Structure 1
Amino acid sequence: MPSDIPPDMPSPGPQSRQARLAAIDGLRLVAAVMVAAYHFLGTPTPHFWGRTELRDFAPFLHKISCYGWLGVEFFFLISGFVICMSCWGRTPAQFTASRIARLFPAYWCAVLLVVMLVLVARIAHWPAATRIDARTVLGNLTMVPGPLGLELIDGVSWTLWVEARFYLLMAVLLLFGLSYRRAMAFCGAWLLAGVIALELHSPLLDEFVLPRYTGLFVAGIVLYLMHRFGQNLLLWLLLGFAWSYELTVLELRVTDHAIAPTGEGRPSWAVCSAVLTLCLGLLALAGVGPLKRLRRPWLVTAGGLTYPFYLVHQSIGIPLAKGLIRAFPKLGPLPSTAVSVICMLALSLLIHALVERRLGRLLKHRLTLDMRPWDLAAKPALPRTR
């Protein structure tokens, strides 16, 4: 069988199963903590904590936390690396089954927990920011409530729709067979499509190309190619182009996080770029640097808690923190946040152990069996070819 490896690059050799990169699990938790810090401590919403304003008695902490929204960008960057790794050697059907089993069980659990919280608040006549009905619940269970014109029950779930479209693009690539050259061509074509989408200002094209996040996903994919096949000048040039592109379009998201439509309280683009570049450096250290050899079981456990914690920290954790302040008026935002975060970590552990592991494993097994006829018709990608 002819090799797809360029003659000037050595074959990476056989590899049965990739060792888990514990450092990347740790980085996922760092990204989740960044987002939680933004939602709890850095939100620009006036009177978020009632009469007590965090920016008044802890201005430095508030100023740092207001950049925590970049944790979402960090998640997308990590996703480029992890999803490319997850795709390699799988058919589209296998990849689809693994993604459904990975995302939906914890998400369904989080949505139903929020619904239960709202119903309890109604019965007890407690204030509840979220109003729900049967149509809203059903639409949210699909994970695409935004496109359906419905309110998000779990506020952070808008990012899952972005991730789902990235998965779709990767599944299309898998249809052609995943190799080094095809992955490189895919990254270059996606960056070009992002530039065209920004120039055309086409909402339809934006939905498929994701021009605001293209550079993040591509940078993650390129770092994984470095991890799997080794570094070379072409990969570094592609990474540099992707990052230059991403830091340029970052200005659009910086504007979105201004306090007022006039731009008041707008985060600094230079600071945002520096923070995001630091995130890129950490992922490079974890994927192709010395941190890739890090083996710490607690980091793997932390990575397992990241997704459920991300899902529950805002829609359940923040109402809990505010409820603590109402019940104990002398309790300030910081103590209530600490208690709430600890409770959300405990809840995340339960969701991970009882829902993700059990229901996720069962769902993946059943879906794999149901999709087996598709696998027979598909041409599996060679695991270690370029």
Structure 2
Amino acid sequence: MPSDRPSPEPPSGPARLAAMDGLRLVAAAMVAAYHFLGTPTPHFWGPTELRDLAPFLHGISRYGWLGVEFFFAISGFVICMSCWGRTPAQFAVSRVARLFPAYWCAVLLVVALVLVSRLGHWPAATRIDPRTVLGNLTMAPGPLGLDLVDGVSWTLWVEARFYLLMAVLLVFGLSYRRVVAFCAAWLLAGVVTLELHSPLLQEFVLPRYTGLFVAGIVLYLMHRFGQSLLLWLLLGLAWCYELTVLELRVADHAAVPPGESRPSWAVCAVLLTVCLGLLALAGVEGPLARLRWRRLVTAGGLTYPFYLIHQSIGIPLAKGLIRAFPTLGPLPSMVVSVACVLALSLLIHTTVERRLGRLLRHRLTLDIRARDLASKPVPARAR
């Protein structure tokens, strides 16, 4: 059994796993495919149903919402890796600097799009007011009782609560035994929360996604400390737990148009298992873990901005193209829209994420250090 003492990373930080960036892009592509091609909303792209226009693409894309589950499992791995050896303050600064700049940019872009639509008397899918915009800038509009300006931002609130749990664990220091105990306790808390039907516990325990985060954390422990029977048993329990509660998520997508069957739990279970298998191949000892393609790192940089704007900006853009060029058709309009969103994502990544994120991280770090120095007691000889 490895030592229970926290083992900090070297100053350079953990080595970047390029395959993780590729998997994040795969997860984002799955979610985008669901929103563009797999949506169950009748006549979403016009009078012709997408399932009649592209039945194969629609049939496989209707399971693309599982990309959110894939994101949460990847997050369990990556967040555990990134916070190892850091203090709670350092972890908080890294998360704020990583998430908020691109998110603020996405929200303001959607607001600008809605305002332009109003000026042009075009239909806008989102209705906004100053209170809604301000509440969305906190990244927690749902708990504040507000509509989402960016439709996918509900997942960020889930991630934020996961970060809170990791920050609490950081207070005690990360070690192999503590993280293993934390994962086991979290799975048990998830079962208890489902049994009690407690809304308060559900907000903190996240029972629908507990198995995904735990699976990612356990795979990182395998990556860092090596495989063991204990870790494989814990991973198996997390897998069994998550496939069991997956039915709750399937039920959320049960509303389908007449003549179309609801998503199959068995298909969802197989796809989610494949996603976890890919994560294991990328994070533990596998062929994906040895990939060093720089393009994957670049793709990983585009993933977060693309995920934020693909629905709130990409879909209105595609619908605008359909109205402006009726002969173009839905599928070519989607292709053009996705290409434009990718270009905009690259712009956000290079100009907002890198520059503003770096500046925010630097200033917050300096502020914390200054407060730490000011709070230290002055030695008696210096008085």
TM tier relative to shorter chain: over 0.9
Q: Hey, what's the Cα distance between the residues in 1 that align with 2:124 and 2:112?
A: 12
Mapped pair 1:190 → 2:186: yes
Which of 231, 235, 249 does residue 231 from structure 2 map onto?
A: 235
TM-score between the two structures when normalised by the length of structure 1: 0.93
Query: 1:272 deviation in Å?
Result: 0.2
Identity %: 83
Deviations for 1:215-259, whole angstroms, at most 9, x for unmatched residues?
000000000000000000000000000010000000000010012
1:202 maps to 198
1:5 maps to 3
Deviations for 1:63-91, whole angstroms, at most 9, x for unmatched residues?
10000000000000000000000110100
Mapped pair 1:75 → 2:57: no
Mapped pair 1:350 → 2:328: no
1:282 maps to 278
Q: Hey, what's the Cα distance between the residues in 2 that align with 1:154 and 1:219?
A: 28
1:86 maps to 82
1:311-322 maps to which residues of 2 (within 5 A)?
Answer: 311-322=308-319
Give the SS at the match of 1:129. coil
Deviations for 1:269-299, whole angstroms, at most 9, x for unmatched residues?
0000000000001000000122111100000
Q: Unmatched 5+ residue regions in structure 1?
A: 379-386
For the 8 Å contact 1:93–1:375, the answer to whether it is kept is: no
Q: Do the aligned partners of residues 316 and 326 (structure 1) sit closer, same or farther apart at CA in structure 2, a change above 3 Å counting?
A: same
Q: Hey, what's the Cα distance between the residues in 1 that align with 2:274 and 2:120?
A: 46
Deviations for 1:103-125, whole angstroms, at most 9, x for unmatched residues?
00000000000000000000000
1:161 maps to 157
Q: Which runs of 4+ in 1 moved over 3 A?
A: 11-17, 260-265, 373-378
Mapped pair 1:111 → 2:144: no
Give the SS at the match of 1:42. coil
2:29 maps to 33
Mapped pair 1:272 → 2:268: yes
TM-score between the two structures when normalised by the length of structure 2: 0.93
Deviates more, 1:261-270 or 1:292-301: 261-270
RMSD after superposition = 2.1
Q: Do the aligned partners of residues 253 and 376 (structure 1) sit closer, same or farther apart at CA in structure 2, a change above 3 Å counting?
A: farther
Q: Hey, what's the Cα distance between the residues in 1 that align with 2:344 and 2:186?
A: 38
Task: Output the amino acid matched with 2:300.
Answer: G
2:334 maps to 337
Query: 1:15 deviation in Å?
Result: 9.0
1:298 maps to 295
1:39-50 maps to which residues of 2 (within 5 A)?
Answer: 39-50=35-46
Q: Hey, what's the Cα distance between the residues in 1 that align with 2:30 and 2:263?
A: 15
Q: Which has the higher contact order (CA 8 A, sep 6+)?
A: 1
For the 8 Å contact 1:12–1:229, the answer to whether it is kept is: no
Q: Hey, what's the Cα distance between the residues in 1 that align with 2:100 and 2:10?
A: 33
Deviations for 1:86-143, whole angstroms, at most 9, x for unmatched residues?
1101000000000000000000000000000000000000111111000000000000
Task: Output the amino acid matched with 1:49.
Answer: W
For the 8 Å contact 2:97–2:361, the answer to whether it is kept is: yes
Query: 1:5 deviation in Å?
Result: 2.1
Q: Unmatched 5+ residue regions in structure 2?
A: 376-383
Q: How many corresponding residue pairs?
A: 372
Deviates more, 1:327-336 or 1:357-366: 327-336
